[in-house]
Chain A
Amino acid sequence: MLKIENLSVHYGGIHALQGVSLEVPEGKIVTLIGANGAGKSTTLKAIIGLIKTSGGSVSWNGKSLAGMPTKDIVESGIVLVPEGRRVFANLSVDENLSLGAYARKDKSAVEADRARVFKLFPRLDDRKKQKAGTLSGGEQQMLAVGRAIMTRPKLLMMDEPSLGLAPLVVKMIFDIIKEINAEGTTILLVEQNAKAALMAAHFGYVLETGRITLEGEGRQLLADDRVRKAYLGEAL
């Protein structure tokens, strides 16, 4: 379980996170929604150690992640699929997947996972040897998810997986997220697409300018008037 208590982050001269607390119970899908600039990406980057925190604590299964280098955090099972895919454009699809498994030592299991990724995303199999930079946006997102699967994460964090993707592709990605979760992976999902996120998630938190303003079960938040007005675009 991931536990964040009173997390404070100063980033680029702004007090980006002002005392954020949230929990990601094991095996669940938790989503963090909010408007642009609310601090969602900052939260994920702070967890994975790409950004320094200025207060509060982040712990994974009781162990504090404070000050740990990203490499060690990832090796302990926490993986981030960053915003904008960030696949390695100069490397082939296959190599991108191999990089996902960079820290793993169990060769045969890695190959099994690779086969599984290609089964989930047949289009990636077709483009195995192509450079990742030549893929379309949707394919790159598939590659990013596939690469994340190759890490066999315990906690999978995703930063705006739906961004810039066609609705059908978004649906496919979310279906796969649910499938991965069903197999036991805990998921922390950051999304601007509040509707899709809240429909998929067990729990949700709403982040507004660095603070958590609402929390509850996914279904509850979907029905909440404040959420509907601010993020779901539904008239009262």
Chain B
Amino acid sequence: MDLATFLQQLANAASLGSLYSLIAIGYTMVYGILRLINFAHGDIFMLGAYFAFYLIASVALPWWVAFLVAIAITSLFGIALERIAYRPLRDSPRISLMISAIGASFLIENLGVVIFGGRPKSFASIPLFDTVVRMGSVQVLSVSLFIPVITILLLVVLLFVVNRTKTGMAMRAVSTDVEAARLMAIDVNKVISYTFGIGSALAAIGGILWTMKYPQLNPLMGIMPGLKCFIAAVIGGIGNISGAVLGGFLLGFIEIMVAAFLPALTGYRDAFSFILLILVLLLKPSGLLGKKQTVKV
């Protein structure tokens, strides 16, 4: 493999890793606050892409307006999802929550099939993102350069909000101890809605950027990325935002690099994430950046 191809693959890995990170953050934030694996998160990613698609194709909005509106709608959708599917089960055993999440995921996917149609759709081409950029002998789509930059910007903003604002402090308090947070007059419901809103917005951004790079939309497109990104979040340390980013990049890298250097194993590509997950769960369940949680009896 020559240098050019290697750099090419590196660029691909960086893009994929960023996309995975954006989605993984949503998982980790929701898990941190509710101890819930939001199975429907991958489908929210899909919705973000579809909303943008329809806003451009049917409503004929300029692309940047469509993007912002799509992100906003998806964010609201995530908040609504929490209200309907998870809030009523706040005091129930965690298994009920998980079942509701799985049900919600299937519901959204199949609603997508019914409403959007099962046949793949092509996202419109947007010149800003579609130009081929040449750097020496390496060729990348401009979007591949945008993605990591946007992701890192978003991450910086998010970390600032979480670590240095009052709302962020409330979010961290609720993740640590819900009841004690209530005693501080924190509106726990509002904090949870916020978390879902932010996570869903990030997933929507991920969805939109994803379709810029892989322009085929279908209602089931969120399943595999969703699962993989949850794995990324676990690998990085569930509940830890930086961990989610780390996990996302790691997973993206491994996926692209293995496919590039070990083409014989391509058939097993999807299994890698799972194998990695199981290894992490067995060796360091708290993840790469996570802390050990002891259970007090």
Contacts and interface: CB of A to CB of B under 8 A. Distances in A.
* Whether chain A touches chain B in the assembled complex (some CB pair under 8 Å): yes
Interface in B165-183: 166, 169-170, 172-173, 175-177, 179-183
B187 interface: yes
A50 B177 CA distance: 14
B128 interface: no
A90 B180 contact: no
B240 to A, nearest CB: 10
Contacts, number: 63
A91 B177 CA distance: 11
A70 B176 contact: no
A163 B182 CA distance: 22
A95 B170 CA distance: 10
Contact of B185 (A74, A87, A89, A90): A74
Interface string A72-101: 001100011010001111110001001110
B183 A80 contact: yes
A99 B173 contact: yes
B184 A100 contact: yes
B187 A82 contact: no
A102 B179 contact: no
Given A98-B169, A99-B169, A102-B166, A91 B185 contact: no
Given A71-B186, A100-B184, A102-B184, A91 B179 contact: no
B169 to A, nearest CB: 6
A100 B183 CA distance: 9
Contacts of B181: 88, 99
A172 interface: no
A48 interface: yes
A91 B171 CA distance: 11
12 contacts: A70-B185, A71-B185, A86-B180, A86-B183, A89-B177, A90-B176, A91-B169, A91-B173, A98-B166, A102-B170, A102-B186, A147-B184
A103 interface: yes
Interface centre among A89, A102, A103, A151, by most B CB within 10 Å?
Answer: A102
B183 A74 contact: yes
Given A95-B169, A99-B169, A102-B166, A89 B186 contact: no
Contact of B182 (A50, A87, A88, A89): A50
Contacts of A70: 182-183, 185
Contacts of B175: 90
Nearest to A91: B172
Given A70-B183, A86-B180, 9 more contacts: A50-B179, A71-B185, A74-B182, A82-B180, A88-B180, A90-B172, A99-B184, A102-B186, A147-B184
Interface of A: 48, 50, 70-71, 74-75, 79-80, 82, 86-91, 95, 98-100, 102-103, 147, 151
Interface centre among B172, B173, B185, B186, by most A CB within 10 Å?
Answer: B185
A103 B176 CA distance: 19
A163 B183 CA distance: 20
A100 B180 CA distance: 10
A89 B176 contact: yes
B176 A102 contact: no
A48 B183 contact: yes
A148 to B, nearest CB: 9
Given A88-B176, A90-B175, A90-B176, A82 B183 contact: yes
Given A89-B176, A90-B175, A79 B169 contact: no
A79 B185 CA distance: 9
B177 A88 contact: yes
Contacts of B184: 74, 99-100, 102-103, 147, 151
A82 B184 CA distance: 11
Nearest to B296: A84
Contacts of A86: 177, 179-180, 183
Nearest to A86: B180
A99 B172 CA distance: 11
Contacts of A87: 180
A60 to B, nearest CB: 15
